[in-house]
């Protein structure tokens, strides 16, 4: 491949500067600040701070509550990613086969994407509320005493359901366009070779969808880890109590509710490292095994 | 002709008025809903009452959010003149001496008369330093009281319980048989913990409940409170007490809907309750355990105080002082008390409410102030602990786990004790 050449040395730099500035101001500078303050203990009003070394980190490691939150985050991420990908794939495969009224179906399946997470959380609160929730009533009719905000598992259930509900349409859109970009001749040839729909899906369609699926996997993991904040916040209703929460929400609770800047910074650094590992994993390990056309 | 001149002159005066520069101050608060409307009305009335100062109230969300926003603003040098800080955040603010101007100093420096004896006794020292100097001006002062549905109690043939023993053996079983949830409560740390210690005159923390030192440890593992929670748990299990988690509203709703017969809430809930409830209700003192004490003491105020933030010009501080003068005047206090149910903070305002016959019309409105005026003990002044918002969160977590059967009484209180003492030690480290 022929390499592009630039005669001006300054022009590319000048063109990059706006982007670099934004990254520096909104990422590098705060990230550096977080790393720095994670080694200090500060009084809330910022009158003084003292160097405490690794104490903020060892505290996390020794905190059974932090470990409980970490375990929940892991399970929550697995459930949300698994269900929203699985459900979206199923819907996309079925919607792909629909011919009459296809657009209407697709739009109906996609519109939820437009609901913002806090709004989704509020809808969740309305549906799962102990006193007025419709789903709570449904559970009661089935003989189950559903208690949002009281029972740990019940609250976790609401969080997973709302998070999956809001993420599925995004996955659906990607899966559907992935399915539609599979060349028709390949599918037709497969149809001649094997009449079993499931085997054709397993051997032909799914491998061809793999790049999309992999991309979505990463997107969904980051969604479950970070973007579910609004949903969790509205479901927790300003009362962390014994409710389940994710690591990101814990950063917020300790830093912005509890005013412990050092401890909260250490938690964000832990998350930063986690994202770094995820990114390395994405590019080093999996990208090689996936064939993009 | 003459009329025209007068009109013209009047118009000129009207035009000229804004030329005198008004000193503008801001007030951040956490009062939403009906309470927020009253806050706006007080501010508007103050602005209308004179033309030298103008106050702008800003709703900043929950108490916790208001405190966080204030701290962030202070660090950026953009703090408001007045901020409303709630009971659990008091230690954080008072421990930061450069952040706030003690209200006592502010008023005296600006020739606003101040005498701490003018304030009712339960209100005086909660937001004061260890020497008894008032730091924050109590604003929405409330105390946990017991509301009851009059009809429900009549139907069950019982009277409001004075003691927990009475509740356990007489009131609750009768109400349960009458088809009611006997009782709910809306705030376990405030009602069942902090004021539990005050009502029974038990020390809540070391070093004079934290007022004398930052190196404080909590007495959360006292046998009396463990015993109380063991009973609470058994009531919940037997259907004698409704438990709906740590959220305030979830626990208040069953009472508002008429499903629960009694509710432990805030005296400041009176105004909102009067709007929402379509049944007759009244209120009385928080029950106590006869086996712990036969001389129950007063509770202390919850709610919040207004703090004057430092870093403003003398003119603005003067405006803040003038606003406090207005806010503590008997008329404004009475209006605030009448509209919301928060207690009037001065004796003068209380007298005014009595003279006006407010308590003849609404006996339930007097419970909070009467309870705050019960005999005091050495442990009824309040508490002062840092990172207390987090400590309350730990309490709520362990209490909920206890009530849902995920942990035992012993383990729950041991966990609270351990984590709270760690947080207190950490806070004292930030102050060294």
Taking CB atoms and an 8 Å limit, are B245 and A129 in contact across chains?
Answer: no
Coil, helix or strand at residue B32: coil
Q: Which of residues 53-92 of A touch B (CB under 8 A)?
A: 65
User: Do residues B269 and B403 share a domain?
Assistant: yes
User: Do residues B181 and B276 share a domain?
Assistant: yes
Does residue A142 lie in a domain region?
yes
User: Do residues B81 and B214 share a domain?
Assistant: no
Q: Which of residues 212-241 of A touch B (CB under 8 A)?
A: 237-241
Taking CB atoms and an 8 Å limit, are B92 and A259 in contact across chains?
Answer: yes
Does residue B19 lie in a domain region?
no
Taking CB atoms and an 8 Å limit, are A50 and B432 in contact across chains?
Answer: yes
Question: Can you give the length of chain B in residues?
Answer: 432
The answer, for A259 touching chain B at a CB cutoff of 8 Å, is: yes
pLDDT of residue B15: 47
Residues of chain A found within 8 Å of residue B398, distances taken between Cβ atoms: 242
Taking CB atoms and an 8 Å limit, are B430 and A43 in contact across chains?
Answer: yes
Closest CA to A200 of A211, A189, A185: A189
Coil, helix or strand at residue A98: coil
- Report how far residue A286's alpha carbon sits from residue A217's, in angstroms, rounded to the nearest whole number: 11
Does residue A25 lie in a domain region?
no
With a cut of 70, say whether residue A290 has pLDDT above it. no
Tokens in use for A56? Answer: 């903020």
- Report how far residue B429's alpha carbon sits from residue B386's, in angstroms, rounded to the nearest whole number: 11
State the smallest CA–CA distance between residue B342 and chain A in angstroms. Answer: 23
pLDDT band at A194, cuts 50/70/90?
confident
Does residue A45 lie in a domain region?
no
Count CB-CB contacts under 10 A for residue B382: 22
Query: Quick one: residue A241, left, alpha or beta (phi over 0 = left, psi -120 to 50 = alpha)?
Result: left
Does residue B427 lie in a domain region?
no
pLDDT of residue A288: 64
pLDDT of residue A4: 65
Residues of chain B found within 8 Å of residue A149, distances taken between Cβ atoms: 244-247, 250
pLDDT tens track of chain B, all 432 residues? Answer: 444 444 444 444 444 444 457 899 999 999 988 889 999 999 999 999 999 999 999 999 999 999 999 999 999 999 999 999 999 999 889 888 789 999 999 999 999 999 999 998 888 888 998 888 999 999 998 999 999 999 999 999 999 999 999 999 999 999 999 999 999 999 999 999 999 999 999 999 999 999 998 899 999 999 999 999 999 999 999 999 999 999 999 999 999 999 999 999 999 888 888 888 899 999 999 999 999 999 999 998 888 999 999 999 999 999 999 999 999 999 999 999 998 889 999 999 999 999 999 999 988 889 999 999 899 899 998 899 999 999 999 999 999 999 999 999 999 999 999 999 999 999 998 887
Q: What is the DSSP string of B153-200?
A: HHHHT----SBHHHIIIIIHHHHHHTTSEEEEES-HHIIIIIHHHHHT
Does residue A35 lie in a domain region?
no
Taking CB atoms and an 8 Å limit, are B429 and A50 in contact across chains?
Answer: yes
pLDDT band at A118, cuts 50/70/90?
confident
Does residue B10 lie in a domain region?
no
Q: What is the DSSP string of B364-430?
A: GGGHHHHHHTSPP-TT-S----TTHHHHHHHHHHHHHHHHTTSS-HHHHHHHHHHHHHHHHHHHHHH
Are B423 and B387 in contact by the 8 Å Cβ rule? The answer is yes
Coil, helix or strand at residue A136: helix
Are B280 and B151 in contact by the 8 Å Cβ rule? The answer is yes
Residues of chain A found within 8 Å of residue B426, distances taken between Cβ atoms: 41, 260
User: Do residues B292 and B188 share a domain?
Assistant: yes
Q: What angle do CA B3, B4, B5 make, to 5 degrees?
A: 90
pLDDT of residue B274: 86
Containing structural domain, residue A282: 51-289
Residues of chain B found within 8 Å of residue A46, distances taken between Cβ atoms: 71, 74-75
Containing structural domain, residue B152: 144-299+386-415
User: Do residues B119 and B213 share a domain?
Assistant: no
User: Do residues B74 and B173 share a domain?
Assistant: no
Greatest mean pLDDT among A3-12, A18-27, A103-112, A272-281 lies in A18-27
State the smallest CA–CA distance between residue A174 and chain B in angstroms. Answer: 38
Does residue A5 lie in a domain region?
no
The 3-state secondary structure of B272-309 reads: HHHHHCCCCEEEECCCECCCCCCCCCCCCCEEEEEEEE
Residues of chain A found within 8 Å of residue B252, distances taken between Cβ atoms: none
Please write the tens of the pLDDT for every residue from A128-182: 998 889 999 999 999 999 999 899 999 999 999 999 999 999 999 999 989 988 8
pLDDT of residue B14: 46
Whole-Å CA distances, B31 to B38, B62, B312: 9, 7, 24
pLDDT of residue B7: 47
Please write the tens of the pLDDT for every residue from A67-111: 999 999 999 999 999 999 999 999 998 888 877 777 887 788 788
Taking CB atoms and an 8 Å limit, are B245 and A149 in contact across chains?
Answer: yes
Residues of chain B found within 8 Å of residue A254, distances taken between Cβ atoms: 390
Residues of chain A found within 8 Å of residue B95, distances taken between Cβ atoms: 43
User: Do residues B181 and B227 share a domain?
Assistant: yes
Does residue B420 lie in a domain region?
no
Strand partners, B29: B59
Helix (H) or strand (E) holding A245: none
pLDDT of residue A189: 85
State the smallest CA–CA distance between residue B68 and chain A in angstroms. Answer: 6
Chain B contacts to A (CB-CB under 8 A): 62, 64, 67-68, 71, 74-75, 92, 95-96, 98-99, 243-247, 250, 253-254, 257, 387, 389-390, 393, 396-401, 403-404, 406, 419, 426, 429-432
Residues of chain B found within 8 Å of residue A68, distances taken between Cβ atoms: none
Selecting from A44, A131, A150 the residue whose C-beta is nearest the C-beta of B400 gives A150
Does residue B423 lie in a domain region?
no
User: Do residues B347 and B393 share a domain?
Assistant: no
Tokens in use for B134? Answer: 């008032």
> For position B207, which CATH number holds?
3.40.190.10
Taking CB atoms and an 8 Å limit, are A130 and B387 in contact across chains?
Answer: no
Residues of chain B found within 8 Å of residue A151, distances taken between Cβ atoms: 404
Residues of chain B found within 8 Å of residue A237, distances taken between Cβ atoms: 247
Percent of chain A scoring above 90 in pLDDT: 49
Taking CB atoms and an 8 Å limit, are B404 and A152 in contact across chains?
Answer: yes
Does residue A265 lie in a domain region?
yes
- Report how far residue A225's alpha carbon sits from residue A73's, in angstroms, rounded to the nearest whole number: 7
Taking CB atoms and an 8 Å limit, are B246 and A239 in contact across chains?
Answer: yes
Are B412 and B233 in contact by the 8 Å Cβ rule? The answer is no
Are B266 and B251 in contact by the 8 Å Cβ rule? The answer is no
Closest CA to A152 of A72, A228, A87: A72
Strand bridging mode A49-51 / B260-266? unpaired
Structural domain total, chain B: 2
User: Do residues B170 and B311 share a domain?
Assistant: no
- Report how far residue B333's alpha carbon sits from residue B131's, in angstroms, rounded to the nearest whole number: 26
Taking CB atoms and an 8 Å limit, are A45 and B250 in contact across chains?
Answer: no
Are B168 and B240 in contact by the 8 Å Cβ rule? The answer is yes
> For position A134, which CATH number holds?
1.10.3720.10
pLDDT of residue B198: 94
**Which of B245, B399, B406 should be substituted to probe chain A, the one whose Cβ sees the most A Cβ atoms within 10 Å?**
B245
Does residue A14 lie in a domain region?
no
Selecting from B98, B257, B396 the residue whose C-beta is nearest the C-beta of A241 gives B396
Maximum C-alpha span of chain B = 89
Structural domain total, chain A: 1
Are B367 and B286 in contact by the 8 Å Cβ rule? The answer is no
Does residue A42 lie in a domain region?
no
A-to-B residue pairs, Cβ atoms closer than 8 angstroms:
106
Residues of chain B found within 8 Å of residue A240, distances taken between Cβ atoms: 393, 396-397
**Which of B90, B188, B385, B393 should be substituted to probe chain A, the one whose Cβ sees the most A Cβ atoms within 10 Å?**
B393
User: Do residues B341 and B311 share a domain?
Assistant: yes
User: Do residues B237 and B263 share a domain?
Assistant: yes
How much of chain B is helix, strand and coil, in % rounded to 5? 55, 15, 30
- Report how far residue A82's alpha carbon sits from residue A79's, in angstroms, rounded to the nearest whole number: 5
The answer, for A47 touching chain B at a CB cutoff of 8 Å, is: yes
The answer, for A33 touching chain B at a CB cutoff of 8 Å, is: no
| Cβ partners under 8 Å of residue B29, min gap 6 | B36, B39, B57, B58, B59, B60, B66, B83, B84
User: Do residues B262 and B400 share a domain?
Assistant: yes
**Which of A48, A145, A242 should be substituted to probe chain B, the one whose Cβ sees the most B Cβ atoms within 10 Å?**
A242
């Amino acid at each position: 491949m022929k390499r592009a050449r630039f005669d001006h040395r300054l022009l590319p730099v000048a063109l990059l500067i706006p982007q670099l500035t934004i990254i520096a101001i909104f990422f590098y500078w705060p990230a550096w600040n977080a790393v720095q303050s994670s080694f200090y203990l500060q009084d809330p009003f910022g009158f003084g701070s003292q160097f405490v070394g690794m104490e903020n980190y060892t505290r996390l490691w020794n905190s059974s509550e932090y470990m409980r939150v970490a375990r929940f985050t892991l399970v929550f991420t697995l459930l949300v990613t698994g269900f929203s990908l699985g459900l979206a794939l199923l819907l996309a495969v079925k919607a792909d086969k629909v011919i009459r009224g296809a657009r209407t179906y697709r739009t109906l399946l996609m519109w939820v994407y437009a609901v913002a997470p806090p709004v989704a959380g509020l809808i969740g609160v309305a549906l799962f509320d102990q006193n007025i929730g419709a789903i709570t009533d449904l559970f009661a009719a089935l003989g189950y005493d559903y208690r949002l905000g009281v029972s740990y598992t019940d609250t976790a259930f609401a969080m997973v359901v709302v998070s999956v509900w809001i993420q599925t349409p995004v996955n659906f859109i990607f899966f559907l366009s992935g399915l539609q970009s599979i060349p028709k001749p390949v599918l037709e040839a497969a149809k001649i070779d094997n009449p079993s729909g499931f085997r054709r899906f397993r051997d032909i369609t799914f491998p061809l969808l793999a790049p999309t699926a992999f991309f979505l996997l990463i997107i969904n993991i980051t969604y479950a880890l970070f973007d579910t904040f609004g949903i969790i916040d509205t479901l927790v209703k300003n009362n962390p109590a014994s409710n389940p929460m994710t690591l990101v929400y814990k950063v917020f609770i300790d830093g912005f509710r509890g005013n412990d800047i050092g401890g909260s910074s250490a938690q964000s650094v832990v998350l930063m490292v986690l994202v770094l590992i995820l990114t390395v994993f994405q590019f080093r390990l999996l990208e090689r095994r996936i064939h993009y056309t | 002709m003459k009329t025209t001149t007068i009109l013209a002159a009047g118009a000129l005066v009207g035009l000229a008025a804004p030329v005198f520069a008004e000193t503008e101050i801001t007030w951040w608060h956490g009062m939403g809903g009906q309470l927020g409307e009253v806050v706006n009305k007080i501010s508007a009335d103050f602005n209308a009452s004179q033309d030298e100062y103008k106050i702008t109230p800003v709703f900043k969300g929950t108490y916790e959010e208001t405190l966080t926003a204030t701290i962030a603003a202070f660090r950026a040098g953009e703090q408001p003149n007045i901020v409303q800080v709630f009971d659990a955040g008091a230690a954080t603010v008072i421990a930061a001496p450069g952040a706030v101007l003690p209200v006592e100093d502010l008023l005296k420096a600006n020739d606003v008369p101040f005498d701490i004896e003018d304030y009712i006794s339960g209100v005086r020292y909660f937001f004061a330093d260890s020497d008894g100097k008032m730091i924050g001006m109590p604003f929405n002062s409330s105390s946990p009281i017991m509301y009851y549905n009059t009809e429900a109690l009549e139907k069950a043939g019982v009277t409001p319980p004075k003691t927990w023993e009475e509740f356990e053996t007489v009131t609750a079983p009768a109400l349960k048989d009458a088809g009611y949830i006997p009782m709910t409560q809306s705030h376990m740390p405030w009602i069942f913990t902090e004021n539990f210690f005050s009502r029974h005159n038990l020390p809540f923390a070391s070093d004079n409940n934290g007022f004398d030192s930052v190196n404080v440890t909590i007495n959360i593992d006292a046998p009396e409170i463990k015993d109380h929670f063991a009973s609470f748990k058994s009531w919940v299990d037997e259907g004698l007490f409704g438990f709906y988690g740590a959220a305030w509203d979830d626990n208040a709703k069953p009472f508002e809907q008429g499903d629960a017969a009694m509710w432990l809430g805030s005296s400041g809930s009176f105004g909102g309750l009067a709007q929402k409830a379509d049944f007759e209700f009244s209120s009385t003192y928080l029950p106590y355990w006869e086996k712990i004490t036969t001389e129950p003491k007063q509770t202390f105020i919850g709610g919040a105080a207004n703090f004057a933030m430092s870093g403003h010009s003398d003119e603005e501080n003067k405006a803040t002082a003038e606003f406090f003068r207005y806010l503590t005047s008997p008329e404004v206090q009475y209006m605030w008390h009448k509209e919301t149910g928060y207690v009037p903070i001065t004796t003068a305002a209380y007298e005014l409410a009595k003279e006006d016959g407010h308590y003849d019309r609404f006996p339930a409105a007097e419970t909070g102030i009467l309870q705050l005026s019960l005999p005091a003990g050495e442990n009824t002044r309040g508490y002062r602990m840092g990172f207390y918002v987090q400590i309350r969160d730990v309490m709520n977590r362990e209490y909920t786990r206890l009530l849902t059967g995920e942990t035992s009484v012993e383990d729950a209180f041991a966990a609270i004790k351990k984590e709270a003492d760690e947080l207190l030690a950490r806070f004292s480290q930030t102050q060294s």
